[in-house]
Amino acid sequence: MARPRKAGTGVGLTGRRARNRVRLLARRAHDPGGGLMVAFSDSHGLILKGAGSPETVTGQVQGTATTLYTDVEDSYVGTLSAQEVWRTQPSVRKVVGFIARSVAALPWKVYVRADDNDRPRISDSPAEQLLRQPQPWVNGYELVRNLVIDKLLYDRFCAIWVPGGFGLHRIPPRLVVTRSDMGIDEPTEIQINLDGRLLDLSQNPEVAVAMGIGWSEFDAMGISPLVTLSQILQEQRRSVAWRSAQWERTPKFSGVLTRPIDAKWSNDSRARFKEDWKEFSAGKAGATPILEDGMTYAKIGDTISPKDALDIEGRRLSDVEVCSFFHIAPELVGARAGSYASVAAFREMLYGPGVGPIITELESAFNAHIVPAMDPRPGVYASLDREEAINGSFIEQADFLQTSTGGPWMTRNEARGRMDMPSMPGGDELITPLNVTAGGQASPTDSGSQNIKPGAPAHAPRPSEN
C-alpha cells in the first residue's frame, strides 16, 4: 500500500476507516528498549496503541489492522512536547506561571442567589469545602493552578467529580478524548483514555465534569497555543544553541602578545612572565600590565566577548511577545521597565481584560455541573473572589466605605476579628458618633479641621477670592 500524504497535523492513516480521519493526536512515550510506544486518537474516538519506529506504528483500531505514519519532529515545537516547552522555555514558563499563580491565588467562595440584590455567602457549603480541598493531598490552589496551565498550554482543561468520597480530580489533557458533532463542531462525548481503554464520561451521569475547550475546526480538542508560538520558540531555541556553541568553540581571548623573534628569553624568564601575566589577568582587573622589552599586545576583533553573547534584547523581545500573546502586560513579569504608578495600573487591569476571561471560563465550567452536583440547593454558585486581589489597602477601603455609606460601617468585633483578636461582649453594635445624623453631616470625614492636611488651605478658594 502506498504511503498516504500527510495531513496538516503531520499524521497519516491507512486502513478502511482512513477516509473518516479528521485529526489524530499522538500520545508518545519512549520505550525502555529504545522503541516508541504510541497511542493515537481522533475526534471519532479511534484509538490505536502499538509500537514501532518514529515514522510508522502498527496496531489495532477497533479490531482493524491499521498503520500510522507520523513525523514526531512536527509535534508542538520542533521535537518539544508541552512538558519540554514548560521545562526549557523561560519565556513561556514565566508568563504562563504568572497567570496560573495569579488566578489560583483567588479563593473560592460559594453564594446562594436569593434575589437580584441578595446573595448571601454559604461558607459551610460542601461545594466550597471541596473546591478549597479537592483531595487529601491536593489543595484548591494547586487544582486551579494546574487547570489554568492546561488551558494555556493545551487550549483545554478537564476536572471530574464522582460522588462517594472520590473527590475532585484534574484529568490531564493528554488523557482526554472528545467526540464532536461534525455539523457544528460541538463536543458530544467526553472520554478518558486509560492505557488504551476508553472511559466514556458522557455515559456516566453520576460523574460531574468541568471542561473548557478552545476553538478548532472539525473537532472539539482546541489548538495548543504552543503551535502558534512555535516560530518564536524555535528562534529562541536556536539562539540559545548558537550562543552555547559560540562559548564552547570560539576562542575566549581578545588579544595576543608578540615579542621579537631574535630576543633572548630564558626558561626562567618565560616562566616568571607567564606567572605574572596569569596573576594579572585573574585577580588584577583594571590594573596596567608591565610588558618586557619589545613585547606588544594586539587586539583580535573576531573573537566572542561576553557582551556579544548576552542577547539580552532577544530574550526581552521573546518575553514581550509571549506576554502579548497571552494578553498580559510585560511590565507585570519584568519584561519591560515601568514606573510604580504604571505597574499599579496594570495590576488593576490584570483581573479585568488580562486573566478575567480565564476566571469566567473556570467559574462557568464548575457551575455548569460540579457545583450543582455537590450542592443541589437552588441558586447555589461558586465564584473566584477577584475582589480580594484588586481591592486597595485596608486604609483606602476604610476611607472609601465611610465616605460612600455616610457613616460607620464596621463594628468593634468585626475590627477585632480582622486583627485575629477574640470578640468582646457588646462589640457587635455599630457605634455612630453624635455629630453624624441622617440628612445632616454625611460623615465624620466630611468637614472639620481634623481633615485639613498640613500646608493645605482650609477651603477651596471661591471665585470672588481669586
* All structural domains of the chain with their residue ranges: 11-74, 80-250+318-391, 394-423
Strands 156-162 and 167-170: antiparallel
Give the side-chain half-sphere CA count within 13 A for 277: 12
Give the residue among 260, 295, 247 at the shortest CA–CA distance from 274. Answer: 295
Q: Which residues fall within 8 angstroms of residue 115, CB to CB, at 6 or more apart?
A: none
Give the residue among 187, 160, 169 at the shortest CA–CA distance from 368. Answer: 160
Instruction: List the beta strands (DSSP E) in 215-331.
Output: 255-258, 296-299
Q: Which residues fall within 8 angstroms of residue 311, CB to CB, at 6 or more apart?
A: 239, 243
pLDDT at residue 211 in the model: 93
Tens of pLDDT along the chain (466 residues) come to 344 333 333 333 333 333 333 334 443 333 334 333 444 444 333 334 444 444 445 555 445 555 544 433 333 444 468 888 898 888 999 999 999 999 999 999 999 998 877 889 998 999 999 999 999 999 999 999 999 999 999 999 999 998 887 889 999 998 888 877 766 778 888 888 877 778 888 888 888 999 999 888 777 788 888 888 888 888 877 877 777 777 777 666 667 888 888 888 888 888 888 887 777 766 555 566 777 778 887 777 655 555 655 566 667 778 888 999 999 988 888 888 777 777 777 877 888 889 999 999 999 999 999 999 999 999 999 999 988 777 766 777 777 777 777 778 888 888 888 888 998 998 888 877 666 655 555 455 554 445 555 555 544 444 444 4
What are phi and psi for residue 394, nearest 5 degrees? -65, -35
Give the side-chain half-sphere CA count within 13 A for 118: 2
d(CA 261, CA 354): 69
pLDDT at residue 392 in the model: 66
Asked whether the beta carbons of 110 and 128 are under 8 A apart, the reply is yes
pLDDT at residue 435 in the model: 63
pLDDT at residue 129 in the model: 93
Where does 223-266 have alpha helices with state H?
225-228, 230-249
Query: Grid coordinates standing for 346?
Result: 496594570
Query: Grid coordinates standing for 105?
Result: 491565588
Asked whether the beta carbons of 382 and 363 are under 8 A apart, the reply is yes
pLDDT at residue 103 in the model: 96
